[in-house]
Amino acid sequence: MDTELTPPPTGFRELGERYLRNAFPTRDAEEVNRYLDGAAERFRQASDTRPLPSMSAIQHGRFAPGDLLYADLARTLLTAANLIRADLTGANLTDANLTRANLAGANLTGTHLIRANLTDANLTKANLTRANLTDASLRRATLTDATLTGAHLTRANLAGANLVAATLTRTRLTGAALIGANLTRTALTGADLTDAALTWADLAQAHLVRANLTGADLATADLARADLTGANLTGANLTGAGLAGAGLAQAILVDANLTRANLIRADLTGANLTGANLTRADLTDANLSGTHLIRADLTGADLTGADLSAAILIAADLSAATWNTSTHWPAGMSEGIVSRSDPMPSGGYRIRGGATGTDHHGIPVGS
């Protein structure tokens, strides 16, 4: 750069980038980013030499704006601290105790919170973009409307946390514990939830497009009307999960366990359920058009009104599955299904035991 500029400390990255692009429109993005990186480092170095407010002052919210930028607060005791709207950008809070701390509206962009204890903390509308919360405890924490875009929450404990309408786009939650967490309307687009524990979690209307849920435990979780388009749920446990009205088009559910899952009116168009366990799953009025159900176990599944047109049912087990005249079977399969079904007193039909999918030629098999 041709001149020395001091970017504003609060949100300097965003504000600085906007200012520099306006002031130097001919500079390319790489050069602007290099300058901002250097400015951040200079600010960190300056913060290392300035005196911090006392712990008592921090505890009670008596500090000036900018006092805590890039501050080293590792292993500090800040229980029930008043940090409302505090700017802790880039601060080091590794192993800090922030139990019951009030961080509502705080700026924690790029903050290090590794192994920090944020149990029962209030982080309503806090900005945790790119924050590192690896192994942190956020049990019962309130993160309503918080922003955690690109944050690292690997193995973090968020059991019972409130994340309603929070933004976790591209957030890393590998191995995180979200048991009983409230994630209603949460944005989790592209998030990595590999091996995460989400039992009893409320994910109703959550946005999980292209999220990675490989091996995740979602048993009894509520995913009603959630958008899981293109999500990867390979080997996930969805036993008893509520997926009524959920969008699972093009989702990968290879070897997933969907035993007793509620998939009423779910959209599974083009989804891959190869080897999935759908025993006693409720697929009433579900859209399974073009779905891969190769070797899937649909024993006792309810297929009333389901659309299975163009579905691939090679070696699928449909023993005791129920259906009615509104069920749409793949072309050429209806006659074989009818011949292997018995009428039920309550209406509809039940398929007799034995695999009644299709062989590699698409011909119904079983007895």
Q: Which residues contact 265 (CB under 8 A, 6 or more apart)?
A: 244, 245, 284, 285, 286, 287
CA dist 133 and 114 (Å) reads 5
Above 70 in pLDDT, residue 12? no
Tens digits of per-residue pLDDT, 262-279? 999 999 999 999 999 999
Query: So what's the pLDDT on residue 362?
Result: 43
Above 60 in pLDDT, residue 367? no
Q: Which residues of 303-312 are buried (b: 16+ CB within 10 A; e: fewer)?
A: bbbbbbbebb
Q: Which carries the bigger pLDDT value, residue 334 or residue 140?
A: 140
The pTM (predicted TM-score) of the whole model is 0.84
**8-state DSSP, 362:** S
Q: What average pLDDT does the segment 194-219 reach? A: 98
Nearest C-alpha neighbor of 125 from the set 144, 100, 153 = 144
Nearest C-alpha neighbor of 59 from the set 99, 90, 89 = 99
Domain definitions of the chain by residue range? 12-49
Average pLDDT, the chain: 89
Query: So what's the pLDDT on residue 117?
Result: 98
Which string of DSSP letters, residue by residue, matches 63-83? --TTTTTT-B-TT-B-TT-B-
Above 90 in pLDDT, residue 365? no
Q: What average pLDDT does the segment 129-158 reach? A: 98
53 exposed, middle or buried (CB, 10 Å; 0-12, 13-18, 19+)?
A: middle
First-to-last C-alpha distance (Å) of the chain: 78
Tens digits of per-residue pLDDT, 195-204? 999 999 999 9
Report the sign of the C-alpha dihedral through residues 71, 75, 77, 82, in that order.
Answer: positive
Q: Where are the beta strands (DSSP E) in 278-363?
A: 322-323, 341-343, 349-351
Tens digits of per-residue pLDDT, 311-348? 999 999 999 999 999 999 999 899 999 999 999 998 99
Percent of the chain predicted with pLDDT > 70? 83
Decide if 332 contacts 312 (C-beta within 8 A): no
Report the sign of the C-alpha dihedral through residues 134, 140, 142, 144, in that order.
Answer: positive
* Token pair belonging to 226: 């959630």
Q: Which residues contact 261 (CB under 8 A, 6 or more apart)?
A: 238, 239, 240, 241, 242, 243, 278, 281, 282
Query: So what's the pLDDT on residue 52?
Result: 86
Above 60 in pLDDT, residue 114? yes
Query: So what's the pLDDT on residue 353?
Result: 79
26 exposed, middle or buried (CB, 10 Å; 0-12, 13-18, 19+)?
A: exposed
Tens digits of per-residue pLDDT, 40-88? 655 555 555 567 899 999 999 999 989 999 999 999 999 999 999 999 9
Query: So what's the pLDDT on residue 286?
Result: 98
Nearest C-alpha neighbor of 229 from the set 253, 254, 262, 202 = 253
